[in-house]
Structure 1
Amino acid sequence: MWTKHHKKRKIGRFVIPAMTVAFLSYFGYHCIHGDYGLRATEAFEHQRVARDKELAILKAKREHLENQVALLSDGSLDKDMLDEKARYQLNMSRADEIVVFNHYSN
């Protein structure tokens, strides 16, 4: 009967713990620094807040434009608004008028 005797190596008992440490280190690093990690989540949140502010500004601008369009619609035509827009677009005024330009963003 043949028997084999293996010498127990000291390295053998460190293989599984070393693989475990490598595994946990890899996934731990990517949980914090990865594409969907904690730092990326913070960046996404900052971006969401900035876009919410931009959305609020755009909504206010849209409401302002809708109000101007409502004043120029057929049912409630505002003569002053129509006169103002026509003069601004045509760049014309009467000789007895004083024109003051306001530089504001529409």
Structure 2
Amino acid sequence: MPTRVKRPSILVKLSITASLLAFQGYLGYHVVTGAFGIDSQREMLEQIRLLEARQAALEIEIDSYEHRIALFDPRRMDPDILTERARALLGLVHPDDIIIVPEAQDVN
């Protein structure tokens, strides 16, 4: 009894090849335009630069606040400066104080 070898159809080979090419096209499309693709990477890098600049500005502001808080340390506080600032903020003066008001400059 002779055996006959059945060869796969050419259509099966072509359909497998076409489906693999379509899958590669799908992956290639998402490499460029996907959430983590090339285009999104540019946007993320720009956002990183903006956030780093904002972080630097906030660090400067934090350092400023830390310096101002350090001035309230009772071991380092100058009572004359404290009373001067408090009186300036509250608008209070002693009767024996001399007040000098600078003249307004004309802007022409």
Under TM normalisation by the shorter chain, which class is it?
A: 0.5 to 0.7
Q: Displacement, 1:61? A: 0.9
- TM-score normalised to structure 2 length: 0.67
Aligned to 1:104: none
Question: Does residue 1:14 correspond to 2:14, yes or no?
Answer: yes
Aligned to 2:32: 32
Question: Does residue 1:53 correspond to 2:53, yes or no?
Answer: yes
Unmatched 5+ residue regions in structure 2? 103-108
- In the alignment, the residues of structure 2 paired with residue 85 and residue 46 of structure 1 have an alpha-carbon distance, to the nearest angstrom, of 45
Classify 1:82/1:93 alpha carbon distance in 2 versus 1 (closer, same or farther; 3 Å): closer
Which of residues 77, 98, 103 in structure 1 aligns to 2:101? 98
Alignment deviations for residues 57-100 of structure 1 (CA, whole Å, 9 cap, x no partner): 11111111111111222011133255325533x3x15482438x
Classify 1:86/1:43 alpha carbon distance in 2 versus 1 (closer, same or farther; 3 Å): farther
Question: Does residue 1:62 correspond to 2:62, yes or no?
Answer: yes
The structure whose Rg is larger is 2
RMSD: 3.0
- In the alignment, the residues of structure 2 paired with residue 56 and residue 82 of structure 1 have an alpha-carbon distance, to the nearest angstrom, of 34
Name the aligned partner's letter for residue 71 of structure 2. Answer: L
Q: How many residues in Structure 1 have an aligned counterpart in Structure 2? A: 94
Name the aligned partner's letter for residue 32 of structure 1. Answer: V
SS at match of 2:71: helix
Aligned to 2:84: 83
Unmatched 5+ residue regions in structure 1? 100-106
Contact 1:71 1:81 in 2 (8 A): no
Contact 1:72 1:82 in 2 (8 A): no
Q: Displacement, 1:14? A: 2.1
- TM-score normalised to structure 1 length: 0.68
